[in-house]
């Protein structure tokens, strides 16, 4: 299984907060520091998560949400027979929501030194 990759910068306060969450919850990801290591052209802001199961990279707040949700996976549960009528949104609705929320996300632009802290 290929680990998801999270691109971070040590100069970004959001990345430092995310790194704390990853370590506190023992999330199994590959961390790449863009200050030291090469990164793909699709990484325009940090934090960015790239995973093979996702259509597009996750940026900013969506990375925090992904990390937060990982602690619920592989958790033992006794409610396997519990079922509810759950209406799942259409994939196009999820993509639309992701595009709309991109403007509201907290992240550091790689080329924007104002948001990056030393």
Let me know if domain 5-73+87-109 sits in CATH 3.30.700: no
Nearest to 41 by CA among 1, 77, 7, 3: 7
Give burial (CB, 10 Å; 0-12/13-18/19+) of 117.
middle
Higher pLDDT, 102 or 41: 41
Using a cut of 0.75, tell me whether the model's pTM lies above it: no
Q: How many CB atoms lie within 10 A of CB 45?
A: 23
For 5-18, how does the pLDDT look when each residue is reduced to its tens digit (9 = 90+)?
999 999 999 999 99
**Across 73-98, average pLDDT:** 59
CA distance 45 to 10: 13
């Amino acid at each position: 299984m290929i680990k998801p990759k999270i691109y971070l910068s040590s100069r970004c306060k959001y990345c430092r907060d995310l790194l704390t969450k990853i370590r506190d919850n023992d999330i199994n990801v590959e961390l790449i520091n863009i200050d030291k290591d090469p990164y793909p052209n699709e990484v325009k802001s940090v934090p960015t998560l790239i995973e093979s199961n996702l259509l597009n990279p996750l940026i900013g707040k969506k990375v925090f949400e992904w990390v937060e949700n990982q602690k619920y996976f592989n958790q033992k549960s006794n409610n396997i027979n519990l079922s509810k009528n759950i209406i799942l949104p259409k994939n196009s609705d999820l993509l639309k929501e992701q595009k709309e929320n991109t403007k509201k996300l907290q992240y550091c632009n790689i080329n924007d030194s104002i948001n990056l802290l030393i």
